[in-house]
Amino acid sequence: MTIREFKMPDVGEGLTEAEILKWYVKAGDTVEDGQIVCEVETAKAAVELPIPFDGTVHELCFPEGTTVDVGQVIISVNVGGGAAPEAPAAPVAEAAPAPAAPTPVVDEEEDEPQVRQPVLVGYGVAVSSTKRRPRKAAPGAVQAAPAAPAAPVQAAPVAVSVPEQLNGHAPAGARPLAKPPVRKLAKDLGVDLATVTPTGPDGVITREDVHAAAAPASAPAAPAPAPVAAPAPVVAPAAVVPDARETRVPVKGVRKATAAAMVGSAFTAPHVTEFVTFDITRTMKLVDELRSGTDMAGLRVNPLLLIAKAVLVAVRRNPEINAAWDEAAQEIVLKHYVNLGIAAATPRGLLVPNIKDAHAQTLPELSASLSELVSTAREGKTTPAAMQGGTITITNVGVFGVDTGTPLLNPGESAILAVGSIKLQPWVHKGKVKPRQVTTLALSFDHRLIDGELGSKFLADVAAILEQPKRLITWA
């Protein structure tokens, strides 16, 4: 029997962890190369992970709902064809008599050198950083260095017997065992890893160990009945009480990433918001005509489609609005393409995927792209790549009956347009007060890139096109 291990990959750019949402296989199931085995949620999106080899599932290393660091083994597969043992193998660091023929364990990343950029500033990722420690052979045994003479990697730590590591802190001179995200957490909390007692497998320091070490020592040091340290009392009750006055919900995944991005956007880019209220009746009539025509048969036609097209035409008339601020180089980057972002509310939180090169799409192509983008987002299948590289965004708050708002910029973009609800209101039309379809647009923009004149011209152009949709032709 030959066991291969599949580790949590870095499914986004520099992400350090992911939560296992659902397993599609169980121990004993046969899997094939490319088969989806689980769904995970990162800070950006939900992603399905395929297994890269054939075999029989030996063990699922983590249950659903567990947040796993990038590089940790999440599933092991028997690829040798032999019968799997009835009970899982003993932990690697457990002392045991040397077997006559130990089971070979093949790391799915050992076939070729692991080339991955550091995922946290200040913490490199060594090739051997996620490998299991060697089996205990003799006290003081030193782990063999990698044989490949490739780029220099971090030296492997000296193997320490598990009882010695677990009975207290790491011995003097030894580097405490912890993964980069845990080291970052310890640094943020001001915890010296050399003073932390590890409880993880093979003497690895876990997040819980760091939190326990950072907990305020307000109570007298009494002998604890168990080594498991609970978080601070304010985190959450042990059980959900139906009549409780408060409920605490962990912030993670998409919502955590959104919160961090919005805080960064609000306090980095100087926001300015302008508003315009206008008569959109002619555009609503055009929507009805397109729905009943044959040119758009089978495609989804709604006001958002024509609003998106109006934004693209307005960008062409005001190209300077489609830009980005490069803080490092102190340059304004003018973009000659439009990756049009569409803010989508999903069960997992707010996502902003974008339509690549939307400026080059015809109206039917734009309709198909919008439909695919929205349906994919609602199903939670949006990929991290689909949410990167956006240049300008539309958020439709009108679907919730809201007149307008002051939207925050999507990080890295220059402007965002909020579309309010379209309502029948009294309006002066051709000198008479008549009921007309009226809406309000709100444009927030980065004042480092866009001054009041440019922002006003762009917003006025969008409104003018929607007021007289024939301008989609004459201005394009």
- The residues annotated with a catalytic role in the active site are 447
As given in the structure block, the two tokens for residue 359 are 């400026």
As given in the structure block, the two tokens for residue 64 are 């659903």
Q: How far apart are CA 171 and CA 298, in angstroms?
A: 69
Q: How far apart are CA 93 and CA 86, in angstroms?
A: 20
Distance set, CA 178 to CA 132, 192, 230, 242, 254 (Å): 12, 12, 20, 39, 25
Q: How far apart are CA 438 and CA 181, in angstroms?
A: 51
Are 191 and 210 in contact, with CB atoms under 8 Å apart?
A: yes
Q: How far apart are CA 25 and CA 27, in angstroms?
A: 7
- What residue type is 171 in one-letter code? P
Are 301 and 291 in contact, with CB atoms under 8 Å apart?
A: yes
